[in-house]
């Protein structure tokens, strides 16, 4: 099997080996070893929770450097809708988009516009009925990967339509070629991303063979560049073509409200998402057709690669939504989009929590795990490098940790040893143990 790619990585130099990230990781994918955090690759879903909580900024996402755009003759930026929340409200959406041209792109196309295409297609599916309820949005790739490792029974509930990012890349490529601006192989499409998860979905897509996007640039990385270019007056092109429905995708509930049904539930924040997915998997959520689940608190506006506080960003976004409404931007897309939106490949359950391929062996391991767990102090202090005592017990049976990694266990052992030493010390070797006075 090919190695599993994910985008979140560690900056060894910055990592202090603290326990912040191991405790927050929703899939228990991080351990501290030799004073540095280590990510268990196949468990990482790229939610970016660790990037957010690391006080030393040692967790980062692999994205492409800005200069990589210069390997293409015709450079296209497709910014995520969350970009609108990153700048002061005095700047119009068109200004923000033109700034991307000012810093080096030849063409800009809003992912928000493609989001409307996806909304339209989703509405059609919901209208037709006959889908497995509730439909779970695939807009957030971290949630899709979470389902893949923790909620296998929900794989069939996933809305298997291409993401707005993919649709945007496809649409803009044909638009540019049709207008005669560039030839297909001269074009490089770059997604301006709020998160690691989206970067992964470009480098290692699960829904198709190859992504339409050629590169991914972190919103954070180009923020300063954009700020410096923002008030340059040469804004000319009309680039703000998306309607308010598409813009709203940036925040929680945005995708849902475009669906024209009340039977939806929108949840944000990875730990909240897990709670809701548990409910769905246990058939405890009634009367819901659509679930929008976003890994980040505040939706993509709270993405780990965004700059502005998600609540502030949300307020700023509202202004753009209102303006788009006032301008009576078309509610749905106008251009016809014929290509099929349905995924061409599918995801399979990855049982990363399984202890052994063989169930009998797995049972033996689980039994040992439970026994070890009972003997651990139950403090979940993290000093052993595992997120909880039970996780340490699990690591021990997997053969990647020792009982003495627990500092309390170690102290117990040291004390036992000390007692043994004292006892031994009291014992005289027989050759010296003579009765007094005798020779």
The site for ligand SF4 (CB under 6 A) is made up of 47-48, 140, 142, 194-195, 197-198, 294-296, 299-300, 303
Mapped onto helix, strand or coil, the DSSP state of residue 420 is helix
Residue 301 is given by DSSP the state G
Segment 151 to 190, residues that bind another protein, using CB under 8 A: 152-153
Shortest gap between Cβ of 149 and another protein (angstroms)?
Answer: 10
Shortest gap between Cβ of 42 and another protein (angstroms)?
Answer: 15
425 CB contacts (<8 Å, ≥6 apart)? none
281 binds, among ligand SF4, another protein, none (CB under 5 to 8 A by kind): another protein
Q: Pattern of binders to another protein over 35-64, x per CB under 8 A?
A: ------------------------------
Segment 388 to 427, residues that bind another protein, using CB under 8 A: 394
- The two tokens of residue 57 are 């900024």
- In DSSP notation, 183-217 reads -GGGEEEEEEES-HHHHHHHHS-SSSSS-S--EEE
Q: Which is nearer to another protein, 268 or 394 (CB)?
A: 394
Shortest gap between Cβ of 13 and ligand SF4 (angstroms)?
Answer: 26
Shortest gap between Cβ of 363 and another protein (angstroms)?
Answer: 5
Which one among 260, 262, 278, 340 touches another protein, defined by CB under 8 A? 278
- The two tokens of residue 27 are 């899939």
40 binds, among another protein, ligand SF4, none (CB under 5 to 8 A by kind): none
Say how many CA atoms lie within 13 Å of 400 toward its Cβ. Answer: 15
Shortest gap between Cβ of 47 and ligand SF4 (angstroms)?
Answer: 6
- In DSSP notation, 42-94 reads GG-----HHHHH-TT--EEE----GGGGGGSSEEEEEE-GGGGGGS-TTS-HH
| Structural contact between residues 186 and 72, judged by C-beta atoms closer than 8 angstroms | yes
295 binds, among another protein, ligand SF4, none (CB under 5 to 8 A by kind): ligand SF4
Q: Which is nearer to ligand SF4, 95 or 138 (CB)?
A: 138
Shortest gap between Cβ of 206 and ligand SF4 (angstroms)?
Answer: 14
Shortest gap between Cβ of 192 and ligand SF4 (angstroms)?
Answer: 12
In our burial notation (b when 16+ CB lie closer than 10 A, e otherwise), range 376-399 reads beeebebebbbbbbbbbbbbbbee
In our burial notation (b when 16+ CB lie closer than 10 A, e otherwise), range 258-271 reads bbeeeebbbbbbbe
Work out whether 275 is an interface residue with another protein (CB under 8 A): no
Shortest gap between Cβ of 366 and ligand SF4 (angstroms)?
Answer: 32
Verify cis geometry, omega within 30 degrees of 0, for the bond prior to 134: yes
Residue 29 backbone phi and psi in degrees, to 5: -95, 0
H helices within 129-269, ranges in order? Answer: 141-150, 164-178, 196-203, 219-229, 244-247, 254-257
The candidate with the shortest Cα–Cα distance to 140, out of 26, 227, 38, is 26
Q: Which is nearer to ligand SF4, 294 or 393 (CB)?
A: 294
| Structural contact between residues 294 and 243, judged by C-beta atoms closer than 8 angstroms | no
283 binds, among another protein, ligand SF4, none (CB under 5 to 8 A by kind): another protein
Segment 94 to 153, residues that bind another protein, using CB under 8 A: 150, 152-153
Shortest gap between Cβ of 303 and ligand SF4 (angstroms)?
Answer: 3
299 binds, among ligand SF4, another protein, none (CB under 5 to 8 A by kind): ligand SF4
Q: Which is nearer to ligand SF4, 142 or 393 (CB)?
A: 142
Say how many CA atoms lie within 13 Å of 30 toward its Cβ. Answer: 29
101 binds, among ligand SF4, another protein, none (CB under 5 to 8 A by kind): none
355 binds, among ligand SF4, another protein, none (CB under 5 to 8 A by kind): another protein
Q: Which is nearer to ligand SF4, 64 or 394 (CB)?
A: 64
Mapped onto helix, strand or coil, the DSSP state of residue 123 is helix
Shortest gap between Cβ of 143 and another protein (angstroms)?
Answer: 17
Q: Pattern of binders to another protein over 338-377, x per CB under 8 A?
A: -----------x-x-xxxxx-xx-xxx-xx-xx-------
CA-based radius of gyration for the chain:
27
* Footprint of another protein (CB under 8 A): 150, 152-153, 278, 281-283, 349, 351, 353-357, 359-360, 362-364, 366-367, 369-370, 394
């Amino acid at each position: 099997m090919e190695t599993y790619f994910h985008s979140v990585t560690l900056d060894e130099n910055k990592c202090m080996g603290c326990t912040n990230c191991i405790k927050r990781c929703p899939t228990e994918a991080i351990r501290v070893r030799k004073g540095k955090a280590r990510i268990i690759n196949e468990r990482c879903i790229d939610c970016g929770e660790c990037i957010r909580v690391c006080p030393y900024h040692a967790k980062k996402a692999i994205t492409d450097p800005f200069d990589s755009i210069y390997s293409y003759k015709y450079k296209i930026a497709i910014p995520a809708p969350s970009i609108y929340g990153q700048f002061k409200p005095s700047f119009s959406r068109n200004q923000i988009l033109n700034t991307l041209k000012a810093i080096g792109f030849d063409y800009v196309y809003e992912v928000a516009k493609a989001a409307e295409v996806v909304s339209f297609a989703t509405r059609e599916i919901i209208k037709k009925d006959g889908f497995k309820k509730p439909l779970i949005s695939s807009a957030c790739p971290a949630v899709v990967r979470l389902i893949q490792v923790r909620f296998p029974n929900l794989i069939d509930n996933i809305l298997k339509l291409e993401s707005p990012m993919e649709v945007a890349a496809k649409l803009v490529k044909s638009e540019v070629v049709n207008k005669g601006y560039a030839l297909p192989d001269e074009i490089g499409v770059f997604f301006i991303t709020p998160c690691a998860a989206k970067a992964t979905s470009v480098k290692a897509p699960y829904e198709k063979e190859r992504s339409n996007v050629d590169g991914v640039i972190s919103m954070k990385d180009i923020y300063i560049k954009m700020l410096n270019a923002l008030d340059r007056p040469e804004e000319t092109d009309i680039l703000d073509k998306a309607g308010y429905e598409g813009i709203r995708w940036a925040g929680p509930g945005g995708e849902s409200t475009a669906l024209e049904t009340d039977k939806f539930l929108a949840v944000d924040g990875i730990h909240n998402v897990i709670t809701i997915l548990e409910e769905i998997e246990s058939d405890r959520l009634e009367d819901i057709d659509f679930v929008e689940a976003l890994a980040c608190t505040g939706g993509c506006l709270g993405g780990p690669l965004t700059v502005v506080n998600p609540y502030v960003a949300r307020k700023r976004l509202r202004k753009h939504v209102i303006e788009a409404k006032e301008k009576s931007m078309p509610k749905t897309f106008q251009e016809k989009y014929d290509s099929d939106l349905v995924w061409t490949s599918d995801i399979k359950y990855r049982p990363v929590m399984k202890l052994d391929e063989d169930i009998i062996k797995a049972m033996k391991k689980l039994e040992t795990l439970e026994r070890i767990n009972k003997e651990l102090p139950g403090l979940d202090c993290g000093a052993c490098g595992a997120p909880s005592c039970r996780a340490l017990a699990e690591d021990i049976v997997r053969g990647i940790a020792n009982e003495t990694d627990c500092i309390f266990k170690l102290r117990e052992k040291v004390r036992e040893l000390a007692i043994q030493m004292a006892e031994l010390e009291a014992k005289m070797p027989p050759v010296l143990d003579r009765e007094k006075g005798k020779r």
